[in-house]
Amino acid sequence: MKKFYFIFALLGVFACSEDKDMTADYFKAQQRDSRFFGKWIFVDSNTLEELSDFTHNYIEDGELQYFYLTGEPYYSRKEYYYTKGDRLYVLNPGSGFKVSASVKEFRYEFSDSDNILVLQGYTNGELSSYKESFKRK
């Protein structure tokens, strides 16, 4: 009976262990396209009219923060990001359990002036037709 409890406890420990590529430390250790650094706001792709009351703040160390235009935090959850090629990867570490962490993948491109950012998400490995545009704030 003791063996059963030991095996059950051991399985529980391994089930909660983290994948190294699903951690904030892993994301922060990766390279980032420096054109992301700073604040961005969601805009209409045709008129460039601002459509949001909060900004995405891409920090050089890989942290992604969200703020209301007033400067107050949009929400306290921290996310992390890195870029590779034309891909942006965003980690939501969740509550700390392995199963709650998630990574979103986007294809990205910048305008010639680097003041407009276009993100196109992936769903089940397929590139979505929906695009989001952001303007440097």
pLDDT in tens, 75-131: 777 899 999 999 999 999 987 655 689 999 999 999 999 999 999 999 989 999 999
- Could you identify the residue written with the tokens 């699903």? 22
Specify the pLDDT at position 41.
97
Domains of the chain, by residue range, sit at: 19-136
**Is the Cβ–Cβ distance between 134 and 40 less than 8 Å?**
yes
pLDDT in tens, 1-50: 554 343 333 334 444 445 778 899 999 999 999 999 999 999 999 999 99
pTM of the model: 0.82
What is the assigned CATH class of domain 19-136?
A: mainly beta
**Is the Cβ–Cβ distance between 91 and 79 less than 8 Å?**
yes
Specify the pLDDT at position 38.
98
